Amino acid sequence: MNKPIAMSSQVRLNLYWRDYLEMTKPKVVALMLLTVLVGMCLALPGAIPLQPMIFGMAGIGLMAGSAAAMNHLIDRRIDGIMARTYNRPLPKGRVSVTRALTFALVIGALGFITLYVLVNPLTAWLTFASLLGYAVVYTAYLKRATSQNIVIGGLAGAMPPLLGWTAITNEFHGNALLLVIIIFTWTPPHFWALAIHREKEYAKVDIPMLPVTHGIEFTKTCILLYTLLLGLACLLPVIVGMSGPIYLIGSTVLSCMFLFKAWQLKYADKPGLAMQVFKFSIYHLMALFMVLLVDHYLWS
Ligand code: HEM
Ligand SMILES: CC(C)=CCC/C(C)=C/CC/C(C)=C/COP(=O)(O)OP(=O)(O)O
């Protein structure tokens, strides 16, 4: 007969912190923080002040992590049914509802206070609005209400470069909004590619994602059109003179690659391509923002 293996307290502790880290969606937040950093760097021509940079990144990261943990909390029932998410800490019972809520509130409050006291109130309130936009408006309402859920909800996820910009300058600037527009138009192809791959699972839990409500072919058309729109949005920093030729060349190459993949998905699909498009979207955004940074320091 098998003897139950007692879990050492060290192993249990390791599992715990991994579970809490998982609830913050660390890879998503990491990419967001790259866009925050780029927003900060593009806000000023020269070096950026260290205090708002460090505390801005910390505060925005904590509040984004808090929003992600709230998403885990609110979605725990459907997450427990879908194959991609059933192993998450809440549906598996590794973290209780009370602990998840406490964790989300504590890191969210810590992030807000950091921004309010050590950066500026404008950034604190804008980040708070993004947190509510993702955790409450998108997760608790839009996600179950309309197939345009991720288009509207995408605004919250697109805010980080503006948050970085205001952290440094304490004011709105049209150029920061251009970076928000880029992420806003990037979000539908990013997510719908994954939603095509996971269409049956979303249907199973009654979430009205576009491929469920309007079919896979229509979703592919929308991905292609949004990718086209994204290509145009990526030209805006050059048109207004914020970015130069390095960015123009880099972003054009990236846009062409994304357009090619979206065109393939629509007209020459093959098994696994939707997931390839989803993965490509992540590298695309990462590379795009790195090119913005390189262009800023080498050219502008
Ligand atoms: C409403 C807007 C968005 C939706 C609905 C969305 C949806 C998703 C989903 C469902 C996944 C999980 C894929 C999986 O578990 O395999 C994912 C992964 C990811 N998303 Fe998004 N996303 C959004 C916005 C963003 C934004 C704004 C960023 C960054 C700036 C981002 C970056 C990422 C990254 C880096 C991953 C990979 C995470 C990993 O491998 O663990 N997403 N996204
Ligand atoms: C303060 C601030 C900047 C807030 C932004 C917060 C944030 C982490 C947004 C991420 C967007 C995202 C991963 C959506 C997917 O949610 P989903 O529920 O559709 O995906 P899931 O099924 O994988 O949970």
Kindly state whether residues 142 and 66 are assigned to the same domain.
yes
pLDDT at residue number 143: 98
Dihedral angle over CA of 133, 55, 179, 285, nearest 10: -90
Q: Is the CB of 187 under 6 A from ligand 2?
A: no
Out of 171, 198, 231, pick the residue that ends a domain: 171
For residue 254, is it within any domain? Answer: yes
Determine phi and psi for 238, rounding to 5 degrees.
-75, -45
Q: Is there a contact between 227 and 189 (Cβ–Cβ < 8 Å)?
A: yes
Q: Ligand 1, atom 42: nearest CA belongs to which residue? A: 28
Identify which ligand lies nearest to the alpha carbon of 139: 2
Kindly state whether residues 28 and 60 are assigned to the same domain.
yes
Among all chains, which residue has been given the structure tokens 């390791």? 14
Tell me the best of 134, 183, 201 to mutate to test the pocket of ligand 2, counting ligand atoms within 8 Å of each CB and taking the most.
Answer: 134
Tokens of 270: 């093959």
Kindly state whether residues 143 and 207 are assigned to the same domain.
no
Centroid of ligand 1 to alpha carbon of 136 (angstroms):
17
- Find all residues with CB under 8 Å of 218, minimum gap 6, and list them: 210
For residue 4, is it within any domain? Answer: no
Distance CA 15, CA 180 (A): 36
Distance CA 113, CA 111 (A): 6
Q: Which atom of ligand 1 lies closest to the CA of 138? A: 1
CATH code, 126: 1.10.357.140
Distance CA 271, CA 216 (A): 14
Q: Is the CB of 130 under 6 A from ligand 2?
A: yes
Centroid of ligand 1 to alpha carbon of 98 (angstroms):
25
DSSP for 89-122, written as a single string:
TTTTTSS-HHHHHHHHHHHHHHHHHHHHHHT-HH
- Find all residues with CB under 8 Å of 102, minimum gap 6, and list them: none
Number of domains in the chain: 2
Kindly state whether residues 242 and 167 are assigned to the same domain.
no
Q: Ligand 1, atom 9: nearest CA belongs to which residue? A: 191
Kindly state whether residues 90 and 142 are assigned to the same domain.
yes
Distance CA 46, CA 24 (A): 33
Q: Provide the angle, in degrees to the nearest 10, between the axes of the packed helices 160-169 and 26-43.
A: 40
3-state DSSP helix/strand/coil % of the chain, to nearest 5: 80, 0, 20
pLDDT at residue number 9: 65
Distance CA 294, CA 300 (A): 10
For residue 164, is it within any domain? Answer: yes
Centroid of ligand 2 to alpha carbon of 245 (angstroms):
33
Distance CA 284, CA 282 (A): 5
Kindly state whether residues 59 and 160 are assigned to the same domain.
yes
- DSSP state, residue 213: H
Centroid of ligand 2 to alpha carbon of 139 (angstroms):
8
For residue 204, is it within any domain? Answer: yes
For residue 8, is it within any domain? Answer: no
DSSP for 189-202, written as a single string:
HHHHHHHHHTHHHH
For residue 18, is it within any domain? Answer: no
Distance from chain centroid for Cα 148: 17
Distance from chain centroid for Cα 283: 13
pLDDT at residue number 40: 98
pLDDT at residue number 299: 83
Kindly state whether residues 233 and 211 are assigned to the same domain.
yes
Domain span including residue 225? 173-300
Kindly state whether residues 120 and 148 are assigned to the same domain.
yes
Residue type, 90: L
Rounded to two decimals, the pTM is: 0.95
For residue 91, is it within any domain? Answer: yes
pLDDT tens for the chain, 300 residues: list them: 344 445 566 666 666 899 999 999 999 999 999 999 999 999 999 999 999 999 999 999 999 999 999 999 999 999 999 999 999 999 999 999 999 999 999 999 999 999 999 999 999 999 999 999 999 999 999 999 999 999 999 999 999 999 999 999 999 999 999 999 999 999 999 999 999 999 999 999 999 999 999 999 999 999 999 999 999 999 999 999 999 999 999 999 999 999 999 999 999 999 999 999 999 999 999 999 999 999 999 986
For residue 284, is it within any domain? Answer: yes
Q: Which atom of ligand 2 lies closest to the CA of 25? A: 8
Kindly state whether residues 49 and 108 are assigned to the same domain.
yes
Out of 150, 171, 192, pick the residue that ends a domain: 171
Q: Is the CB of 67 under 6 A from ligand 2?
A: yes
Q: Is the CB of 157 under 6 A from ligand 2?
A: yes
Which helix (H) or strand (E) segment holds residue 161: the answer is helix 160-169
Q: Is there a contact between 75 and 88 (Cβ–Cβ < 8 Å)?
A: no
Q: Which atom of ligand 1 lies closest to the CA of 26? A: 41
Tell me the best of 25, 34, 123 to mutate to test the pocket of ligand 2, counting ligand atoms within 8 Å of each CB and taking the most.
Answer: 25
Kindly state whether residues 78 and 214 are assigned to the same domain.
no
Kindly state whether residues 218 and 150 are assigned to the same domain.
no
pLDDT at residue number 7: 59
Helix (H, G, I), strand (E, B) or coil at 50: helix
Kindly state whether residues 160 and 198 are assigned to the same domain.
no
Identify which ligand lies nearest to the alpha carbon of 65: 2
